[in-house]
Amino acid sequence: MSLDPLTDFFKRFKHITPPDEVVRKIVVKTIKEMFGVDISIKDVGVKNSIIFINTKPTIKSELFIRKSQFISQIKKEVGENIILKDVR
């Protein structure tokens, strides 16, 4: 018995992006790890592959400086199948 039909079936689900809630939790966790700052999950939003963070300007400035490292850390946590364009 061949597993090809089963493999083909699961390939359909390989590129499904996780729900926004999971991404928001990972963003909060990553900010805590990278910057040592606690923010609420309510302060994080995801829309059209862009992460919106509502926080103090000093934290946003630091986040902008380390944006590529921040996005790569989130992709590592969530998986490479999520497309993140920017952090604002």
Report if pTM > 0.85.
Answer: no
pLDDT in tens, 39-87: 999 999 888 888 899 988 998 899 899 988 988 888 888 876 677 777 8
Up-side HSE of residue 1: CA atoms within 13 Å toward CB? 4
How do the domains of the chain map onto residue ranges?
17-87
